[in-house]
Amino acid sequence: MLFRDFVKKLEDEKLLIRIKKPISVKYEIATLMKKLDGKPLLFENVKGYDIPVVANVCSTRQLVAIGLGIKQREMIKRLTNAIDNPKEPKVKDVKGYREIDVDLTKLPVLTYYKIDGGPYIASGIAIAKDEEYGLNASYHRAMVIDKNHVVM
């Protein structure tokens, strides 16, 4: 399922809360994420950016199941099967794909707490290739330090 379709499905099922008022990436979005108890949120009017922010879309097993397009009761069985029977990734020729100059400062990356050293990508996925073991994907909290560097 495409991410846009996932967000629309959450909205169709009345699980998504839209926040239309102007809001800052510095503390304000993170505060609402916590206050609204992990409910999926779409911030439409992020101060200083023309990109909306979507948050908390995987905060429960129910939401993850919706995103995967499966029933919640199937999750453990499907996950176990995927771990036991890994598949090679499929490389597709994506129409319209092009290389771009990376500029992370153009993304509405959140600063969560006053003690944070800067804005953080809270659940970024890093993919590393090892010659012996192949690909590995892992979650990391990464602080954006400039347009194309993060600290993990």
pLDDT in tens, 91-110: 777 777 778 888 999 999 99
Confidence bin at 29 (pLDDT 50/70/90): very high
* The domain boundary residue, chosen from 55, 86, 117: 86
Tens of pLDDT, residues 4-17? 999 999 999 999 99
Taking each helix axis from N to C end, the angle separating 61-68 and 3-12, rounded to the nearest 10 degrees, works out to 120
Q: What is the C-alpha to C-alpha distance for residues 52 and 36, in angstroms, rounded to an integer?
A: 18
Q: Do 152 and 120 belong together in one domain?
A: yes
61 has a pLDDT exceeding 90: yes
Q: Do 71 and 1 belong together in one domain?
A: yes
Range of the domain at 146: 101-152
pLDDT value for 43: 98
Q: Do 140 and 66 belong together in one domain?
A: no
CA distances from 55 to 33, 99, 138 (A): 7, 27, 19
Average predicted confidence (pLDDT) for the chain: 94
What separation, in Å, do the N-terminal and C-terminal C-alpha atoms of the chain show? 29
Rounded to two decimals, what is the model's pTM?
Answer: 0.85
Q: What is the C-alpha to C-alpha distance for residues 105 and 94, in angstroms, rounded to an integer?
A: 26
